[in-house]
Amino acid sequence: MLVPVRDGMPHLRWTWNTLRRSVGCTVEFVLVDDGSRDGSSAFLDACASGDPRVRVVHTPPEGLVAALNRGLAACRAPWVARVDADDLVTPDRFARQLACARAGAFDVVGTRIRCFPRAAVAGGLRRYETWQNGLMTPEALVRERFVESPLVHPSVLFRRERVLDLGGYRALGWPEDYDLWLRLLADGARMAKCPEVLTYWRERPERVTRTSPICSPDAVARCKAHHLVVGPLFGRARVYLAGAGDDAKRLARALASEGRRVEAFLDLNPRRIGQRIDGVPVCRIEDVRDTLGRDTFILAVIGGEGRRPGLRAYFEAFGLREGEDWLCAA
């Protein structure tokens, strides 16, 4: 188990009390102290002195990606589970994930999650939790991989060698976990999730996903664009974006920074038809019907889980196949 820590007190004490009660399989703990200054370092050493399963790696404050890679190198088991220092897990989480991974020959297995404390969970986070808990099968995870990160990082169990073969985690200015999932999927990795809620994901204002620039909407768009260009868009003559809102504009700019210009924004709003966004025309899908085919790809950048069934029916009416001719990207 890989747990990076930087100034994790007091949540670290509660997390450790849940982790050490793990049952059902043999667990080794690799705790990476990334230059903590709040007493976490001494607490981790105390954990190691009383438990032979625990090894602590002390490093200067180098950042999360470096801490993850140091911890990954220190792990000796073929399977690595990720946990954050302020989250909680059920005692049987790792045993259930390992059984699921072996039964389905999966390379990465997540769990359903529950964000807490519930009073702090609202709006977008509740929607994200619902979306995450609906992505269970390998097919669903592949289909919606460009909507957002399809796995919650501290909920996963993965094959160590699979991740090491791809070079581990990378610091490229966007979320290191999302980047890893997209690389693994492009490499043919099989992913799924346990159907139970086994990970409790703490919501707090200072959480990395709330504060770090690598998790900003622009950074996430750059991550998507990078992997789209070398993946689904590779070899396509034309790229259209369905939608003309802020998310679509952001992705179009990120694609342009990767050297891939969008041909047009496709929209249903008659007030937008005929406009130009950064020089790119806004038109109806009917206007480009004759160009649709194997050399064209559409990215649907229209947010909202409830709108995706309608999108699928709409594109199906044009003979477009999800994954082959188009994908959801928001």
CATH number for 85: 3.90.550.10
Residue range(s) defining the domain that contains residue 93: 2-215
From first to last of the 330 residues of the chain, give the pLDDT tens digit.
999 998 888 899 989 999 999 999 999 999 999 999 999 999 999 999 989 999 999 999 999 999 999 999 999 999 999 999 999 999 999 999 999 999 999 999 999 999 999 999 999 999 999 999 999 999 999 999 999 999 999 999 999 999 999 999 999 999 999 999 999 999 999 999 999 999 999 998 777 888 899 999 999 999 999 999 999 999 999 999 999 999 999 999 999 999 999 999 999 899 999 999 999 999 999 999 999 988 999 999 997 767 888 899 999 999 999 999 999 999
Q: Are residues 205 and 266 in the same domain?
A: no
- Same-domain status, 149 and 118: yes
Q: Which 8-state DSSP code applies to residue 128?
A: H
For residue 262, what are its two tokens? 């969008």
Q: What is the spatial order of strands in the sheet that 29-34 belongs to?
A: 2-5, 29-34, 54-59
Same domain for 221 and 196: no
241 and 203 belong to one structural domain: no
Q: Does residue 108 contact residue 191 with C-beta atoms inside 8 Å?
A: yes
One domain for residues 142 and 201: yes
Same domain? For 177 and 253 the reply is no
Phi and psi angles of residue 307, each rounded to the nearest 5 degrees, phi first: -90, -10
For residue 88, the 8-state DSSP code is E
What total of structural domains would you count in the chain? Answer: 2
- In this structure, are 224 and 300 located in the same domain? yes
The pLDDT score that the predictor gives to residue 207 is 77
Last residue of a domain, one of 215, 248, 265: 215
According to the model, what pLDDT value does residue 137 have?
97
Q: Are residues 176 and 309 in the same domain?
A: no
Q: Are residues 16 and 154 in the same domain?
A: yes
Contacts of 266 (CB under 8 A, 6+ apart): 240, 241, 242, 243, 282, 283, 284, 285, 288, 298
Task: Give the helix/strand (H/E) hosting 244.
Answer: none
Cα 152 to Cα 39, 78, 199, 299, distances in angstroms: 27, 21, 9, 23
Shared-domain flag, residues 254 and 283: yes
Residue 209: what pLDDT? 80
d(CA 255, CA 296): 15
**Predicted pLDDT of residue 79:** 98
* Residue 305: per-residue pLDDT: 67
CATH number at residue 242: 3.40.50.720
DSSP 27-95: --EEEEEES--SSHHHHHHHHHHT-TTEEEEEE-S--HHHHHHHHHHH--SSEEEB--TT-EE-TTHHH
Q: Which residues pair with residue 200 across a beta bridge?
A: 88, 114
pLDDT tens, residue by residue, 301-322 = 997 767 888 899 999 999 999 9
Model confidence pLDDT, tens digit, residues 256-298: 999 999 999 999 899 999 999 999 999 999 999 999 988 999 9
Are residue 62 and residue 101 in the same domain, yes or no?
A: yes
